[in-house]
């Protein structure tokens, strides 16, 4: 069974109605990135940041996977699939994907503000826990914060993602502008000659010297087109 590695970005969840940074001109739900997605924003106004992520969780609870998510999950019938996602939602998991690496954290998890990546204090919220109260504490006594990789913070899962990409027989990018690093650099870890595909309705600047089969369609239609191509490569 061939190893298929799929990197997904904001465009993967766009059809599910879940808001993203990507098409907001630097805003996310009318807030600047600096206010709600940086350590400095958290230090300046933790109540605002807490309220912001509570509102995102409410939105995520109402969102549903789109056909693209389901079609990605269905590829596990024929390939050894690893999904590497830049998205903080859980739509891949809800659609049935069994191996998902989250590069930028998960909206459904909270952690210590003193050491966000200490596994002892990372907790998955229950289905009814969309609201984290102001002043809630993590297990180490520090303020409880979203388990989100904010701008300026290291990406703890990038090494695992790079290792998976380096072993890929086929590499696919869906809905990513390839503008946010280090995720955008993952394509550089593919072995020479590895077939690469890119699905996006917009024009995306492909890294110089890389041969990429571009499918200029939204995620749902694009993954269906991709599946037809992949069936000939099994």
Q: Cβ-count burial of 232 within 10 angstroms (0-12 exposed, 13-18 middle, 19+ buried)?
A: exposed
Domain ranges of the chain: 3-231
pLDDT single digits (tens) 62-110: 999 999 999 999 999 999 999 999 999 999 999 999 999 999 999 999 9
Over residues 123-127, the mean pLDDT reads 92
Would the pTM of this model clear 0.85, i.e. be above it?
yes
What values do phi and psi take at 82, rounded to 5? -120, 125
Answer yes or no: are the C-beta atoms of 75 and 229 closer than 8 Å. Answer: no
Fold classification of 3-231 is: Rossmann fold (3.40.50)
When mean pLDDT is compared over 24-28, 174-178, 193-197, the highest value belongs to 193-197
What values do phi and psi take at 46, rounded to 5? -60, -30
Write out the E strands in the chain: 3-8, 27-28, 31-32, 80-85, 100-102, 105-112, 123-124, 144-148, 170-174, 196-199, 213-215
User: 126 or 29, which is more confident?
Assistant: 126
The C-alpha atoms of residue 190 and residue 207 are separated, in whole angstroms, by 13
A 10 A CB-CB count for 210 gives 13
Q: Provide the percentage of residues in the chain whose pLDDT is more than 70.
A: 94
Report, as residue numbers or ranges, the catalytic residues: 104
Answer yes or no: are the C-beta atoms of 214 and 204 closer than 8 Å. Answer: yes
The pLDDT score that the predictor gives to residue 208 is 67
Burial call 25-52: b when 16+ CB within 10 Å, e when fewer: eeebeebeeebbbbeebbeeebeebbeb
**DSSP 8-state secondary structure symbol assigned to residue 153:** S
């Amino acid at each position: 069974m061939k190893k298929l590695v799929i990197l997904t970005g904001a465009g993967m969840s766009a059809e599910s109605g879940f808001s993203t940074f990507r098409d907001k001109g630097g805003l996310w739900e009318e807030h600047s990135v600096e206010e709600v997605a940086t350590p400095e924003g958290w230090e300046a106004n933790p109540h605002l940041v807490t309220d912001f992520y509570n509102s995102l969780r409410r939105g995520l609870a109402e969102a549903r996977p789109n056909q693209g998510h389901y079609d990605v999950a269905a590829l596990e019938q024929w390939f050894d699939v690893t999904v590497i996602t830049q998205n903080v939602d859980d739509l891949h998991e809800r659609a049935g994907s069994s191996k998902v690496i989250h590069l930028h954290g998960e909206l459904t998890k909270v952690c210590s503000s003193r050491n966000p990546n200490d596994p002892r204090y990372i907790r998955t919220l229950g289905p009814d826990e969309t609201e984290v109260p102001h002043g809630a504490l993590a297990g180490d006594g520090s303020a409880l914060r979203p388990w989100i990789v904010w701008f300026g913070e290291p990406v703890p899962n990038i090494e695992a993602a790079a290792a998976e990409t380096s072993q890929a027989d086929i590499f696919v990018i869906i809905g990513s502008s390839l503008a946010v690093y280090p995720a955008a650099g993952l394509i550089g870890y593919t072995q020479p000659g590895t077939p690469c595909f890119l699905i996006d309705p917009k024009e995306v600047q492909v890294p110089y010297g890389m041969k990429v089969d571009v499918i200029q369609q939204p995620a749902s239609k694009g993954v269906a087109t991709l599946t037809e191509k992949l069936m000939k490569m099994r």
